[in-house]
Copies of this chain bind each other. A is one copy, B any other.
């Protein structure tokens, strides 16, 4: 049985309230008593029971984190960032994987909501309406999604896509294919906007190639259509798709980057390990996790939504690797 506040009080010869104060409001207690309490506390290995404290303060010291699929390498990075930042503030993290299911997602949030001070929803699958509803019931911070009135950490997708297009245009590409991800995805929409805007500014052509699963298999499925566009470069919805593309292109004997350049988005660990190594727009995933925790913690300390920043926007960075090269000479057969 772990030691309780009473055990400490008895050992230190003070009342439980004094122990409580010594631990959570240092300034207000006599330094001598405080020292005695501290000594007693750690001689007993005492640590306060968060649940009991939460019952009275209304703060549990825990947060919840919901991700759509841990098997997608994007998310573990975000989780790591959340963990790291939460740990620094001595906050524990409940993790839930919704398995891409919007209904499950809402359920998980509801179930967890009672035991946490707030929740971080990463790339939520739920509708704006549902998210707004949740945000009313509990403190919510979104990652990778913008919903009216809900605090969020997002990546600047428009800018990221511009980075990719600038790079390809500089290499001489004039006809660029876009292998799209899930149609409903918030990121998808914004990436497309950035892509078209950048392509327009450069006066180059952007050829959309449908909508695919944001997975390796999605990329495999898209490859032949991408080739058929006769574009000299392809931007993929994410790295997983790009790697699937690489694989199918290799199987077809199409050389990357000699025949076709490929750019991904995310910079998951696997991208560096691909053949050829994948040029991609790195998204600061861990940082997003950290920032989300910070927003959430800020929200808790000061629930007045006006006085703190509710938004964090993170910037991508182009990682040039071997999957992109100069556009093939159009004069070639």
Contact = CB atoms under 8 A, between A and B. Distances in A.
A80 interface: yes
A221 to B, nearest CB: 14
Nearest to A69: B80
Interface in A70-122: 70-71, 73, 75-77, 79-80, 83-84, 87, 90, 92-97, 99, 110-115
A90 B112 CA distance: 11
A83 to B, nearest CB: 5
A275 B251 CA distance: 10
Interface size class of A (residues with CB under 8 A): 35 or more
Interface in A45-68: 47, 49-52, 54-55, 60, 62
B114 A95 contact: no
Contact of A275 (B92, B96, B275): B275
A273 interface: yes
A65 to B, nearest CB: 8
Contact of A55 (B51, B92, B113, B137): B51
A127 B178 CA distance: 51
Count of chain copies = 2
A216 interface: yes
B92 A92 contact: no
A21 interface: no
A174 B72 CA distance: 39
A179 interface: no
Contact of A80 (B71, B80, B92, B94): B71
A2 interface: yes
Interface of A: 2, 47, 49-52, 54-55, 60, 62, 70-71, 73, 75-77, 79-80, 83-84, 87, 90, 92-97, 99, 110-115, 137, 216, 243-244, 247, 250, 269-270, 272-275
16 contacts: A2-B114, A47-B110, A51-B55, A51-B60, A70-B83, A71-B76, A73-B76, A76-B76, A79-B97, A83-B97, A84-B97, A90-B111, A92-B115, A93-B94, A94-B94, A270-B270
